[in-house]
Amino acid sequence: MASEEAAVTMVNYYTSATPTVRNQPVFIQYSTHRELKTDNLTNQRTHGALHAISSAAVHSGNMASGGEERAFAPAQSPVLRIIVENLFYPVTLEVLQQIFSKFGSVLKIITFTRNNQFQALLQFSDTVHAQHAKAALDGQNIYNNCCTLRIDFSKLSALNVKYNNDKSRTFTRADLADRRAGAHRVSVPVVPGSLVSPPRVALQMAPPAVHSVLLVSNLNPEVRGHTCPEVSRPIRALSCVYGDVQRVKILFNKKENALVQMSDATQAQLAMSHLNGQRLHGNVIRVTLSKHPVVQLPRGAAGQEEQALTRDYAGSALHRFKKPGSKNFNNIFPPSATLHLSNIPSSVTEDVLKDLFSSGGFTVKAFKFFQKDRKMALMQLASVDEAIEALVTLHDRQLDHNQHLRVSFSKSTI
């Protein structure tokens, strides 16, 4: 891996979710080797075989949005395979066409999601254009500090686009039906700025306007926390790991859905990318961007139940990200089985904290105070799902007369 931190993240993730390759479980653990040497012929051949297998896996099967022709090309083809990492803003066909058309004529684009990653196949009119685009754009960010392009040559020699829609587009045939609702060409603004020396390019595109309100669906309305006076507490506790929650509204006629307003669009994107598909109170929740720009507070004439379904947290003293440049911005991680505990009073011992979690029905696997700061500790639970339940239950729990426990997810293991 690129760093020890990346290796730790990978092992932690797959410890709780064993991956399978061709229906065989794969187990990942640390090696005693500090680095790999791949300068001999055997290793080069092995690396090439692995690369071919991974590339073939990406391209196996028809894309739901249009399909691909099965003609395989040499090592370098006019078709590029693009993966967009750190997807904080939506990346559309128009965005990709605008970026890549600077290097030659773009004929076709197909987009899809695989392994929770946004990917695209893009066909140039000529292999040389594809080579120039890959050399210039691989590793670049579309927007500031996010939407990183990872580009490789596809094994395909051509793409077959059946329909023009939001997922696939051919720029060579005007006769294909455009199946997008209210279809029209979108102009993507670019922030003026000088380009660095070739082959690296600073894209500096202006982020699209994205609201800071999330729609969280498939909540479990039967679990205590959705029926008590503060019905919004569980979803607020979970969302505040990724930003400062301003308002939460459980929908009156559909109590398995909630609107969550974050401080800004970046925090909303962070919460969505980390929480979508996680399990809360036994249900797999869905987190998407809402069409609402703000969460409206109920009017004075609203009934008592409707009033109780909405909470305003704008003035909360528990916000973690109020200060610009706060170190909390560097400690945002996806849900994990290991929790980071902070704001622990000096009078609270390891046994007290273990009992607090155990009495809530959670299985404590390991515990460790920070050596240099006993106000913080790590606690490892049995699973990611259990850690999520513990966080929404015990975050902000009062430990003494003026200190409340703060709980977030950790990238570390004990």
Domain positions in the chain are 79-170, 213-312, 333-409
Q: Which of 15-24, 114-123, 383-392 has the highest mean pLDDT?
A: 383-392
Range in 34-38, 62-66, 131-135, 278-282 with the lowest mean pLDDT: 62-66
In CATH terms, are 79-170 and 213-312 the same topology? Answer: yes
Q: Give the pLDDT of residue 153.
A: 95
Average pLDDT over residues 389-393: 94
- Tell me the per-residue pLDDT of 231-240, one tens digit each, with 9 for 90 and over: 678 888 999 9
Domain 213-312 has CATH 3.30.460.20: no
> What distance in Å separates the CA atoms of residue 149 and residue 136, rounded to the nearest whole number?
11
Instruction: Give the residue with greater pLDDT, 21 vs 183.
Output: 21
pTM above 0.85, yes or no: no
Average pLDDT over residues 333-348: 94
Banded pLDDT at 203 (limits 50, 70, 90): low
H or E element in which residue 13 lies: helix 4-16
CATH of domain 79-170: 3.30.70.330
Do 184 and 131 contact (CB within 8 A), yes or no?
no
Strands (E), 193-337: 213-217, 245-250, 258-262, 279-280, 283-284, 286-289, 310-312
Assess whether pLDDT exceeds 50 at residue 331: yes
Assess whether pLDDT exceeds 80 at residue 22: no
Tokens found for residue 13: 């993730």
Q: Using CA atoms of 255, 258, 259, 262 in order, give the dihedral in degrees to the nearest 10.
A: 150
Q: Give the pLDDT of residue 202.
A: 46
Q: Which residues contact 155 (CB under 8 A, 6 or more apart)?
A: 52, 55, 56, 59, 72, 73, 77
Average pLDDT over residues 187-209: 42
Give percent helix, percent strand, percent coil of the chain, each to the nearest 5. 25, 25, 50
Range in 10-24, 43-57, 130-144, 374-388 with the lowest mean pLDDT: 43-57
Q: Which residues contact 167 (CB under 8 A, 6 or more apart)?
A: 63, 64, 65, 66, 93, 110, 111, 112
Question: Which architecture does CATH list for 333-409?
Answer: 2-Layer Sandwich (3.30)
Range in 115-124, 138-147, 188-197 with the lowest mean pLDDT: 188-197
Assess whether pLDDT exceeds 50 at residue 131: yes
